[in-house]
Amino acid sequence: MDVLDRLRLDVPVLQAGMGGGVSGPRLAGAVAAAGGLGTLCLASPAALRAGIAQVRDQAPGRSVAVNLLMPFVHRRHVAACVRGRVDVAVLFFGGDAGLVEELHDAGAVVLAQVGTLGEAAAALSWGVDGLVAQGAEAGGHLLGRQQSLEFLAAVLPVAGGRPVLVSGGIATAEDTARALAAGAAGVVAGTRFLLTEESGAHPLYKRRVLDATETLETTLFGFGWPARHRVVANEATRRWLDERGRVRRVPALLNGLSAPVSRVVGDGLAARLPRLQRTGLPLLAPGPPVAGMPDTTVESTPLYAGQTALRIDSVVTAAEAVALLAGG
């Protein structure tokens, strides 16, 4: 599959589907209009349908992608993608052959994000069209355990000729060039698009990422989804991580018992949880702070960012971000 041709792209740059409303239709539409692939984060079925339509209105003739965050996906989310004739579906943290077949029948290209060779083999067995090889330097939730280009080199021989894109460590045109030279079919960037004017991230969240001097790999914000993630520091990390960066006993125990919560929490409650969290309470869910939330939520919610945060020094437009990544 030729990624540029099949996905109707001008440049091999894909914007990551950042959850909780960070990558909404305004950002995805701006990326698509600039010639990259804009990706909507998982939202309520009604919001997904409206978002797909909005991106198409904003960027006629371009593809629109949806990030299917599998721990939180229900049948109605899939139905919204099918009925909306989404062009690309990205499976993250799971999937199966039946889902891939259903999305294929609706005309979608299906990509799966993976972080190990075992996950790559499983996704290929489902019949996906391509892989996103995530490196350990990525922000947000982590599958990757190797550096991105090291993992890319391991995945390419098992991909069976299907395209492999790189996620993690992508902030500049030089990063993109290195990935393409190493055999990637394209790059996926999150933090660079988080730090755009069209991103839905809370303004103070963006400022914290710009000011960061380190990132933290943790499971702290794992209530309902006890998986690894990369963030920058805030009051919650200072309160609930010990001097070695390990999650303290109480939140670790609660997170470990909370995995079934993701299957029963509705879209409405999930959207409200960041407003309800308090730094002093060890119930820390994965929703990030977005524009319109109180400033205090920046201290009690996850400030997802990849290691590239240390190399980015400004908020730009989405079109500028695409150009910075593509090299022109």
Q: pLDDT for 41-68, tens place per residue?
A: 999 999 999 999 999 999 999 999 999 9
Query: Under 8 Å CB-to-CB from 190, ≥6 apart: which residues?
Result: 15, 16, 18, 138, 139, 140, 167, 304, 306
Percent of the residues in the chain that have a pLDDT greater than 90, as a whole number: 91
* 13 and 138 housed in the same domain: yes
* 319 and 244 housed in the same domain: no
> Which residue has better confidence, 309 or 283?
309
pLDDT at 167: 98
pLDDT at 234 over 70: yes
Residues 120-129 pLDDT 10s = 999 999 999 9
What's the mean pLDDT when you consider all of the chain? 95
C-alpha span between 129 and 143 (Å, rounded): 19
* 145 and 241 housed in the same domain: no
Residue 285, domain extent: 216-304
Residues 204-228 pLDDT 10s = 999 999 999 999 999 999 998 999 9
Alpha-carbon distance values, 9 to 33, 264, 275, 292 (Å): 10, 37, 37, 32
* 91 and 239 housed in the same domain: no
The answer to whether position 206 is within a domain reads no
* 86 and 232 housed in the same domain: no
What is the pTM assigned to this prediction?
0.95
* 22 and 123 housed in the same domain: yes
C-alpha span between 289 and 274 (Å, rounded): 7
pLDDT at 150 over 80: yes
Q: Domain count for the chain, please give it.
A: 2
